[in-house]
Amino acid sequence: MSVNLPKVGEPLQYNYSYDLLNRIIGMQTIRNLNVATNNWTPVAVSDFGETVTYDP
């Protein structure tokens, strides 16, 4: 999922990871969109990273 709200700040892209039961197990956020060409040169934003674990 990509979000680009120019008045709020720079565009961010969220990449989600899922397990075999289709539960979210992680999220990685990247930045560095070239708005002229609409191409991402991914740079990880560790402030927004997330890792989730579930009870067995």
pLDDT at res. 4: 76
At 5, the pLDDT band (50, 70, 90 cuts) reads confident
Nearest in space to 47 (alpha carbons), one of 10, 18, 21: 10
Q: How far apart are CA 24 and CA 4, in angstroms?
A: 23
Structure tokens at 21: 């039961």
pLDDT in tens, 22-50: 999 999 999 999 889 989 999 999 888 99
pTM for the structure as a whole? 0.74
Mean pLDDT for the stretch of residues 6-28: 90
CA distance 30 to 43: 5
8 A C-beta contact, residue 4 and residue 33: yes
Q: Domain map of the chain by residue range?
A: 2-51
Q: What are phi and psi of 20, to 5 degrees?
A: -65, -20
